[in-house]
Structure 1
Amino acid sequence: MNLDLDNKVVIVSGGASGIGAAVVSVLASEGAIPFILDSILPPAELLARTGAPAQIVDFADSAACAAAVQRVASRFGRIDALVNGARRETEAEEVEPAFASVTRNLAYYHLMTQHCLPHLRRTRGAIVSIASQASLEFDESASYVAAKAGIVGLTREWATLLARDGIRVNAVIPAGAPAAPFPRTDPGTRRTAPTQPPQTDAGEVASVTAFLLSERAGPTTGQWLCIDGSYQPPVHSLV
């Protein structure tokens, strides 16, 4: 791709592993300057290959988030975009009430967004949040689903509020494959057969994320982009 992201400074929260690390790799290949903020240390291979600076930060600490964002702005003189991908490292429901887990996960995204906003207003930048197919189905824990649903809801809200500042806000929704195939009914034969939805490739999610950060995405804002290979989640009965 050629997304004209040369020298764009992009904070990638949760960029030390998984989809976040893939985003860092794609941004670096596009000539951007990804800055990794995470609660864990990125692998040396990722840092060497991408040249990305990195800092460990406690996303639950507002002052720590503010200081980290300011450090990025002071070093490069600007912040052009934010990728919200901070996540919990343990199953929070095992050690805290479900409601606390929901608010903690949403707070990670909220704090990073709020602290980046003054800089993004100056550059008329962009935000992309990493959500999950779990926000649209019921296969995960209740608190995880609620947190991811909150993220996609905030995307529309932020997009509306920040449009006047020229800041675009979108979310990507990767799909993950369950451990075993689930049954699906063929409408033509009415026969039920197991099907396996595709596992979303981190590189594919990263490429779409980079596109949404670029000017090539134009007026695209307030959108939830499902990167799922047409996967339709199974329908669950609540009774």
Structure 2
Amino acid sequence: MSLEGKVAVVTGSGRGLGLAYAQELARQGASVVVNDVDADTAAAAVATIVDAGGRAVSVVAPVGPTATADLLVSTAVEAFGRLDILVTNAGVLRDTVLWKMSDDDFDTVINVHLRGTFTTVRAAAVHMREAGEGGRIICIGSPTGQRGNFGQTNYAAAKAGIVGMVRTWALELKRAGITTNAVIPVAATAMTATVPYFAAAVEADTAGRPMPDFFRHDLGFGTADDVAGLIAYLGSDAASDVTGQALGVGGDRLQVWSHPEAVVTAYRTGGWTYDALQESFASEFGSALQTVGESFPPLPEELQRPAAS
């Protein structure tokens, strides 16, 4: 099903994953509003779409404020006559451990990722409900929001919050025919480029070579283009019954993340007092305690890099 006639807004789409999303939506026929905080970056992104035969305009503004959200929606309507698809991708990082994280480190990430997703989705939802033709909202999450990651208190909180909002919006917007989903990408980005474990994959991607199968298949780690197909699919009419989901994608792998569920349930007459927990917690619940963070298998020998001397 073509996206011909559809109009999409993609926040944070001047480069990286966001640019890949915007380009793929345009490739499938959608007109696209590109967003970035840098005018030259936004203009270059628009040019790649227009030069390939697509239609695109830009909004240069930081995501977070309500004014930016309203501007993104109004630009889509003024430039292309409607708004059908919203992808909330804009984000920043301020990584540091909890005891060194400043108020500004925390607030900056929450403002762009979490508040920016909220304000932009709210503006899009208001327009889509009034237009009465349904819509597609796709919010970008992260494995960090699903499992946690050292040094990313702010980012983990924002990305976990986004998935929680998506589930709520799927309920609230269902009657209006608006689907809302979260995508959890695993791909070569500016962030993963600094991680030695992914060096061989990033080097291959940078050089235009296929990534080793270990990364693409075993880890589900790939390129930005590997994620973009799912974004376009969720924006299409074919995905009209997919809503409230967290979908992981990367390399050759596609996943449906589960919603949080109780893994063990036990009852005790009179309730779980301090003494009862001292007596029974380890035996009743110890084997069911969940892991945190992500763990990766050892790199195959041929993909390992010599340790720095």
TM interval, shorter chain, is 0.7 to 0.9
Counting only pairs closer than 5 Å after superposition, residues 1-239 of structure 1 correspond to structure 2 as 3-41=1-39, 42=41, 44-51=43-50, 52-88=56-92, 90-91=93-94, 96-97=103-104, 99-101=106-108, 103-104=110-111, 105-121=113-129, 122=131, 123-140=133-150, 141-176=152-187, 179-180=196-197, 197-228=219-250, 229=253, 233-234=294-295
- 1:142 is displaced (CA, Å) by 1.1
Would the alpha carbon gap of residues 230 and 20 (structure 1) be closer, same or farther in structure 2, given more than 3 Å must change? closer
Q: Which amino acid aligns with 1:86?
A: A
* Aligned partners of 1:60 and 1:108 also within 8 Å: yes
Structure 2: runs of 5 or more not aligned: 51-55, 199-214, 256-292, 297-309
Q: Deviations over 1:2-45 (max 9, x none)?
A: x3200211001111111110011111111110111222333654
Structure 1: runs of 5 or more not aligned: 182-194
Partners of 1:170 and 1:25 in 2: how far apart? 20
Identity, % of aligned pairs? 30
Partners of 2:123 and 2:60 in 1: how far apart? 16
Would the alpha carbon gap of residues 16 and 62 (structure 1) be closer, same or farther in structure 2, given more than 3 Å must change? same
Highest RCO, 1 vs 2 (Cα 8 Å, sep ≥ 6):
1
Q: Which amino acid aligns with 2:197?
A: A
Q: Which amino acid aligns with 2:48?
A: R
Q: Deviations over 1:125-177 (max 9, x none)?
A: 11001111111223241111111111111111111110011100011101256
RMSD over equivalenced CA pairs, Å? 2.6
- 1:234 is displaced (CA, Å) by 1.8
Would the alpha carbon gap of residues 108 and 212 (structure 1) be closer, same or farther in structure 2, given more than 3 Å must change? same
Partners of 2:242 and 2:103 in 1: how far apart? 38
Q: Which amino acid aligns with 1:103?
A: I
* Aligned partners of 1:81 and 1:127 also within 8 Å: yes
Partners of 1:83 and 1:220 in 2: how far apart? 15
Q: TM-score normalized by structure 2?
A: 0.64
Partners of 1:179 and 1:12 in 2: how far apart? 30
- 1:58 is displaced (CA, Å) by 2.2
Would the alpha carbon gap of residues 95 and 7 (structure 1) be closer, same or farther in structure 2, given more than 3 Å must change? farther
Partners of 1:116 and 1:33 in 2: how far apart? 16
- The structure that has the greater radius of gyration is 2
